[in-house]
Amino acid sequence: MGIKAVNLNYIYGQGTAFEQYALKDVNFEIQDGEFIGLIGHTGSGKSTLIQHLNGLLKATSGEIYVNGENIYSPGYNMKALRSKVGLVFQYPEHQLFEVDVFSDVCFGPKNQGLPKEEIERRAREALSLVGLDESYYSQSPFELSGGQKRRVAIAGVLAMEPQVLILDEPTAGLDPRGRDEILDQIDRLHRERGMTIILVSHSMEDVAKYADRLLVMNHGEKLFDGPPKEVFKHYKELEQVGLAAPQITYIVQDLRSRGIDIDDNITTIAEAKEAILALLSGKEKT
Amino acid sequence: MIRDITIGQYYPADSVIHRLDPRTKLFGTMIFLISLFLADSIWAYVLATAVLAAAIRISKVPFSFMVRGLKAIVILLLISVSFNLFLTDGETLVKLGFLRITKEGLYTAAFMAVRLIYLVLGSSLMTLTTTPNELTDGLEKGLGFLKRFGLPIHEVSMMMSIALRFIPILIEETDKIMKAQMARGADFESGNLIQKAKAMVPLLVPLFISAFRRATDLAMAMEARCYRGGEGRTKMKPLKYKSRDRISYLLFFLYIGIIIAMRVML
């Protein structure tokens, strides 16, 4: 399921003294089954952009095509769009409201108007996808830990069985273990179910590890668009817009500047480990 | 909808009215509101109109911004005008079936409408030119004499400023939760009254929880900075009357004097 944005503009507070471009002439096309990392400093328009993709915000001008259909054409079914494009907001645990975990996860599919058995099947499946077993079903979502709450909230969106999953900083405020668990679960959804993922993140390490392609936003405009390795080559420009490359890229650059011949395409620790070990074993032989 | 309420919204500009002491503005607004109820002749209303127009002009707040506050009272305005128009006894002007419009009814309806509109314009002028903090400071100091009667003025004004401070935050929070639930297929618009009320549950429960969470966080943060009520607390910017405030007070008394004189003599 492809998403295509054409000349997307969004102006906040149009017609008032506080008029401001939140998105400026943004163009991109996302193919089926891609894992996109969306990065940009605070206020760069990432959150505004993703809210356009499921029709929560309407662009001031420009078009969005989902599966080739213009979502702004009259009579387009926004509700159907929202179950195709699932959006998990920042701190999604703030949206929990039901008396128990299971009924909260059922909220989405219930709104889709599905039969009861199907709703429950989806809720069970979504909860098992985020790693919560039956012992949690009847607990109050407000008594869970932060990481568990967040997983319930993500399950609430997964239960709608979207084809595209957009997550706005799903790991903000979680401990390292909770963070890795959530990201691994998202990665599994991408690999095993072929789900298209758009991950908004501030962690260059995370997007370098998981994403196939990066979109970099700056002041409402698209700055870079390409595979992580390509994008992180521009680490000097990234620094100018308040971002950076993964730390390991800096180490590799440092090694290179000291005359060590190491591949400058490295963006993850695993790759660096291999390359360094290869270099070391090469040295031993000679 | 919620954004149309101009009360509690500050419009930043650099004008004499913005710089006045909040107590002066509070007092001036009160005088203006009282004058509206004292005025009973067309000339008195002409004077009130001139004063209001001049104040709006001096304040540099765009008129379109002021009028937004009126949207909230449109229904109230319609009801009170039509009641006065049709239900006042007196000399009949027009008769439409069982409805009749009297001369007296027309007068009271017109005065009522003008009064209501000016009440809202006058008080929004104050809130648009005064930051919520200044306003509560002004109230605290202006009503300080009530402390002698055992009223917790400082605490009340602190609560008021916190409440005002949280309005935009809660509006933003409402917007966020609404969107999050809409992303899960919630529908806040269609359906009958009962369905609409039911649809509010997924919005209100998280909103209340977050309001309570914010309240405990704020209480903790205040205590961490040694807040312990008004006793012995000093101000960073103590309120002080300047010559522009004295001149304003003089003008207020002059204005209310003329209004009273008009009532007595005309």
Nearest CA in chain B to A156: B184
Out of A51, A87, A94, whose CB is closest to B206? Answer: A94
Supply the ipTM of this predicted assembly: 0.86
User: B212-216, B237-241, B249-253: which range is least confident on average?
Assistant: B237-241
Q: Decide which of A16 and B25 is more confident.
A: B25
pLDDT of residue A17: 61
Cα gap B120→B66, rounded to integer Å: 9
Chain A: nearest CA to B217, how far in angstroms? 16
The string of pLDDT tens digits covering residues A222-281 is: 999 999 988 988 888 888 888 888 888 888 888 888 888 888 788 888 888 988 898 888
Determine, yes or no, domain membership for B30: yes
Cα gap B126→B121, rounded to integer Å: 9
Grade residue B243 by pLDDT with cuts at 50, 70 and 90.
very high
Percentage of chain A beyond pLDDT 70 is 97
How many pairs of residues across A and B have Cβ atoms under 8 Å apart?
A: 55
The chain B residues in contact with chain A (CB within 8 A) are 176-177, 179-187, 201-202, 205-206, 209-210
Grade residue A16 by pLDDT with cuts at 50, 70 and 90.
low
DSSP structure class, residue A201:
-
Query: Are A95 and B187 in contact (CB < 8 Å)?
Result: no
Kindly state the tokens that stand for A233: 């080559």
- The structural domain count of chain B equals 1
Kindly state the tokens that stand for B100: 């009749």
**Alpha carbon separation from A50 to A35, A45, B177 (Å, rounded):** 14, 9, 16
Query: Are B176 and A87 in contact (CB < 8 Å)?
Result: no
Out of A94, A142, A157, whose CB is closest to B183? Answer: A157
Residue type, A58: K
Question: What residues are paired with A86 via a beta bridge?
Answer: A165
Out of A79, A86, A107, whose CB is closest to B202? Answer: A107
Residue type, A276: I
Query: Are B185 and A51 in contact (CB < 8 Å)?
Result: no
The chain A residues in contact with chain B (CB within 8 A) are 51, 54, 56, 79, 82-83, 86-89, 92, 94-97, 107-108, 111-112, 142, 156-157, 160
Query: Are B202 and A95 in contact (CB < 8 Å)?
Result: yes
Cα gap A112→A123, rounded to integer Å: 13
Kindly state the tokens that stand for A242: 């308040």
Residue pair B81/B112 in contact (Cβ under 8 Å)? The answer is: yes
Most confident of B4-13, B99-108, B249-258: B249-258
Contacts of B182 in chain A (CB under 8 A): 56, 82
Nearest CA in chain B to A47: B176
Other Cβ atoms within 10 Å of A30 Cβ, number: 20
pLDDT of residue A141: 92
Q: Decide which of B231 and A200 is more confident.
A: A200
pLDDT of residue B6: 46
Determine, yes or no, domain membership for B146: no
Residue pair A251/A239 in contact (Cβ under 8 Å)? The answer is: no
Percentage of chain A beyond pLDDT 90 is 47
Q: In what order do the strands lie in the sheet with A20-30?
A: A20-30, A3-12, A61-66, A69-70
Chain B: nearest CA to A158, how far in angstroms? 10
Kindly state the tokens that stand for B90: 């007196």
Contacts of B177 in chain A (CB under 8 A): 94-95
The string of pLDDT tens digits covering residues B7-50 is: 457 888 889 999 999 999 999 999 999 999 888 888 899 999 99
Grade residue B165 by pLDDT with cuts at 50, 70 and 90.
confident
The string of pLDDT tens digits covering residues B168-214 is: 888 889 999 999 999 998 888 877 888 888 889 999 999 999 999 99
Contacts of A143 in chain B (CB under 8 A): none
The string of pLDDT tens digits covering residues B70-96 is: 877 888 888 888 888 888 777 777 777
**Does residue B5 carry a pLDDT above 60?**
no
Query: What range defines the domain where residue B248 resides?
Result: 2-130+236-265
Determine, yes or no, domain membership for B223: no
Kindly state the tokens that stand for B96: 């439409």
The string of pLDDT tens digits covering residues A72-83 is: 988 888 888 988
Cα gap B26→A285, rounded to integer Å: 87
Determine, yes or no, domain membership for B190: no
Determine, yes or no, domain membership for B227: no
Query: Are B184 and A89 in contact (CB < 8 Å)?
Result: no
Mutate to test the interface with A, among B67, B184, B201 (most CBs of A within 10 A): B184
Determine, yes or no, domain membership for B97: yes
Out of A56, A96, A156, whose CB is closest to B182? Answer: A56
Out of B177, B183, B185, whose CB is closest to A56? Answer: B183
Determine, yes or no, domain membership for B123: yes
Residue pair B203/B181 in contact (Cβ under 8 Å)? The answer is: yes
The string of pLDDT tens digits covering residues A54-67 is: 889 999 999 999 98
Q: What is the mean pLDDT of residues B118-139?
A: 87
Cα gap B47→B24, rounded to integer Å: 20
Query: Are A89 and B209 in contact (CB < 8 Å)?
Result: no
Cα gap B166→B210, rounded to integer Å: 12
Grade residue A198 by pLDDT with cuts at 50, 70 and 90.
very high
The string of pLDDT tens digits covering residues A66-115 is: 988 899 988 888 888 988 999 999 888 889 999 999 999 999 999 998 99
Grade residue A15 by pLDDT with cuts at 50, 70 and 90.
low
pLDDT of residue B61: 87
Q: In what order do the strands lie in the sheet with A164-168?
A: A85-88, A164-168, A196-200, A35-39, A213-218, A221-226
Grade residue B161 by pLDDT with cuts at 50, 70 and 90.
confident
Determine, yes or no, domain membership for B168: no
Q: Phi and psi for A202 in degrees, rounded to 5? A: -105, -5
**Does residue B131 carry a pLDDT above 90?**
no
pLDDT of residue B195: 84
Q: Phi and psi for B29 in degrees, rounded to 5? A: -65, -40
Contacts of A160 in chain B (CB under 8 A): 184-185
SS3 B149: helix
**Does residue B106 carry a pLDDT above 60?**
yes
CA A264 from centroid of its chain's CA atoms: 26
Question: What residues are paired with A35 via a beta bridge?
Answer: A197
Query: Are A87 and B183 in contact (CB < 8 Å)?
Result: yes
Other Cβ atoms within 10 Å of A142 Cβ, number: 13
What is chain B's mean pLDDT, rounded? 86
